[in-house]
């Protein structure tokens, strides 16, 4: 049996929880003060995911880089790959907020979109 420690982030109380896991299955969750904590713990153990943010180069733009984000959360263990694959990307103006910058980034099935606009200089 494995015990995972985590802090619930759903309210300022920040309950410290211990999740007992056996054969990839959650068998016990302790330390949460309300049911939302249990929900959070399941999500964090079974499919932890995050929105990834970064910047990409922008050629001939009024700004050297523009900011981007993944349209949806990507699995936590793929964050590094997503960031690395963005290092090579260069866009050209005009860019509008919401434009798709990379489709299906690093094979995650998630698009990377622009979060700021840019014009040609």
Q: Which residues bind ligand SF4 (CB under 6 A)?
A: 8, 10-11, 13-15, 32-34, 36-37
Helices then strands (H, E): number in the chain?
A: 2, 10
Using the 8-state DSSP alphabet, how is residue 112 labeled? Answer: E
Give the integer Cα–Cα distance in Å for 121 and 37: 50
Residue 112, beta-bridge partner list: 70, 102
Q: Which two tokens stand for residue 23?
A: 């054969």
Question: From residue 50 to residue 79, what is the string marking binding to other proteins with x (rule CB under 8 A)?
Answer: xxxxxx-x-----xxx-x-x------x--x
Integer CA distances (angstroms), 47 to 20, 42, 50, 76, 119, in order: 16, 8, 10, 8, 38
Q: Judged by CB under 8 A, does residue 35 bind other proteins?
A: no
Q: Judged by CB under 8 A, does residue 85 bind other proteins?
A: no
Least distance (Å) between residue 81 CB and other proteins: 12
Q: Which does 111 bind (CB under 5 to 8 A by kind): ligand SF4, other proteins, none?
A: none
Q: Which does 3 bind (CB under 5 to 8 A by kind): ligand SF4, other proteins, none?
A: none
Give the integer Cα–Cα distance in Å for 54 and 43: 24
- Give contact residues for other proteins (rule: CB under 8 A): 6-9, 11-14, 33-34, 50-55, 57, 63-65, 67, 69, 76, 79, 83, 97, 115-117
């Amino acid at each position: 049996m494995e015990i995972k420690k985590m802090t619930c982030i759903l309210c300022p109380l920040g309950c410290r929880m211990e999740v007992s896991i056996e054969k990839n299955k959650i068998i016990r969750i302790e330390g949460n003060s309300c049911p939302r904590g249990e929900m959070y713990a399941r999500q964090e153990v079974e499919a932890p995911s995050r929105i990834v943010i970064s910047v990409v180069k922008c050629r001939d733009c009024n700004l050297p880089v523009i900011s981007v984000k993944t349209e949806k959360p990507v699995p936590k263990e793929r964050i590094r790959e997503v960031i690395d694959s963005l290092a090579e990307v260069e866009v050209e103006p005009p860019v509008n907020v919401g434009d798709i910058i990379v489709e299906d980034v690093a094979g995650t099935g998630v698009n990377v979109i622009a979060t700021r606009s840019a014009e040609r200089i």
